[in-house]
């Protein structure tokens, strides 16, 4: 008898866990813990601190330089990450998912004006 009660309790906890988990899953897109800023700091800041460019000072991430070099949209920026010019690390989709690349591009567009 006692054994059966314990089993039922376990089952209930298990079900609650699944419900809590799926409810949590529903809210993740709006509350992603990893931001574009964090991704930028992890992958880009070594050469682009403060939106500058420590290797090629004519190609900073500031709007004036970006626009001069034909980079207007997040698509343009992702293009550079995938196929950069000389001196910059290339970021393929294994290193940087499309989603993360988009986050970084948005961060750059919103931060370095």
Residue from the set 37, 38, 88, 112 that interacts with ligand HEC by CB under 6 A: 88
Q: How far apart are CA 62 and CA 59, in angstroms?
A: 8
Using CB under 6 A as the binding rule, the residues of this chain from 19 to 78 that contact ligand HEC are 43-44, 46-48, 53, 55-56, 59-61, 65-66, 69, 71, 77
* Alpha helices (H) along 28-49: 36-43, 45-48
Among candidate residues 69, 74, 63, 85, the one with its CA nearest the CA of residue 107: 74
Number of residues that bind ligand HEC (CB under 6 A): 26
Residues near ligand HEC, by CB under 6 A: 43-44, 46-48, 53, 55-56, 59-61, 65-66, 69, 71, 77, 80-81, 84-89, 91, 104
């Amino acid at each position: 008898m006692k054994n059966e009660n314990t089993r039922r309790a376990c089952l209930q906890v298990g079900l609650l866990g699944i419900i809590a988990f799926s409810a949590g899953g529903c809210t993740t897109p709006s509350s992603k813990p990893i931001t574009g800023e964090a991704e930028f700091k992890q992958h880009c800041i070594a050469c682009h601190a403060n939106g500058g460019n420590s290797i090629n000072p004519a190609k900073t991430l500031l709007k004036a330089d970006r626009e001069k070099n034909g980079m207007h949209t997040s698509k343009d920026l992702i293009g550079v990450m995938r196929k950069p010019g000389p001196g910059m690390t290339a970021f393929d989709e294994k290193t940087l998912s499309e989603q993360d690349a988009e986050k970084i591009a948005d961060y750059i567009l919103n931060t370095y004006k």
